[in-house]
């Protein structure tokens, strides 16, 4: 059996470090797993009227179907104003509705945060974890993944050039796989 893990980069910027990390993680998927980047780029801001009046945008339908088909979820987030970016919160909201039909429910998850400074998006990491508790996403506790000084870690082509970070990420991926296998839905 092959498991599919969705990677959600919480930034829309073309040169997003979260996207660069996600692309790096895709290459680290072990045998029996596929890491798939799920785009957040075409999702209008959530409005419950779309669901209430049967006017759900096609992008919502496609996103919900994509997430529903996943076995697990891994979020890679920067920090905006000591919290998660709006685009990531919007994706969580879209996937959690209509109420009682959340596509996130029970999918083992992990949070990897990053920042150009020292704090490594600590605030975003923990705000995202708070949202995931409500969505019933069991989140890997250890290792905690905070990546500081992220803009120094990639070359001009977006490739990770820092070997200690690569080693750390690979260990975090292995830990997530172990976490996933212990917590995957039956």
**Full pLDDT tens readout for the chain, 186 residues:** 899 999 999 999 999 999 999 999 999 999 999 999 999 999 999 999 999 999 999 999 999 999 999 999 999 999 999 999 999 999 999 999 999 999 999 999 999 999 998 888 999 999 999 999 999 999 999 999 999 999 999 999 999 999 999 999 999 999 999 999 999 988
What per-residue confidence (pLDDT) applies to 185?
A: 83
Entry pTM: 0.96
What per-residue confidence (pLDDT) applies to 146?
A: 97
Residue 33 is inside which H or E element, if any?
A: strand 33-37
CB 90 within 8 A of CB 46: yes
Residues 6 or more apart whose Cβ sits within 8 Å of residue 43: 59, 60, 63, 87, 90, 91, 94
Number of domains in the chain: 1
Q: What is the distance between the alpha carbons of residues 50 and 52, in angstroms, rounded to a whole number?
A: 6
What per-residue confidence (pLDDT) applies to 80?
A: 92
Q: Whole domain around residue 75: which residue ranges? A: 3-183
Question: How many alpha carbons fall within 13 Å on the CB side of residue 185?
Answer: 16
CATH of the domain at 92: 3.40.50.360
What per-residue confidence (pLDDT) applies to 120?
A: 86
User: Nearest to residue 131, comparing CAs of 48, 75, 169?
Assistant: 75
Cβ neighbours, 10 Å, residue 155: 10
């Amino acid at each position: 059996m092959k498991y599919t893990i969705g990677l959600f980069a919480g930034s829309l910027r073309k040169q997003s470090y979260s996207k660069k990390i996600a692309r790096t993680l895709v290459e680290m998927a072990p045998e029996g797993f596929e890491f798939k980047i799920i785009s957040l780029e075409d999702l209008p801001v959530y409005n419950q009227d779309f669901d209430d009046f049967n006017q759900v945008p096609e992008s919502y339908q496609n996103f919900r179907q994509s997430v529903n088909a996943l076995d697990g979820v891994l979020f890679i987030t920067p920090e905006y104003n000591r919290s998660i970016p709006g685009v990531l919160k919007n994706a969580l909201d879209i996937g959690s509705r209509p109420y009682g039909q959340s596509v996130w429910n029970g999918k083992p998850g992990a949070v990897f945060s990053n920042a150009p400074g020292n704090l490594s998006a600590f605030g975003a990491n923990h705000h995202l974890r708070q949202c995931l508790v409500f969505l019933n996403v069991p989140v890997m506790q250890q290792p905690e993944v905070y990546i500081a000084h992220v803009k120094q870690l990639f070359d001009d082509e977006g490739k990770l050039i820092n070997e200690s970070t690569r080693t750390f990420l690979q260990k975090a991926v292995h830990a997530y796989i172990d976490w996933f296998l212990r917590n995957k839905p039956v």
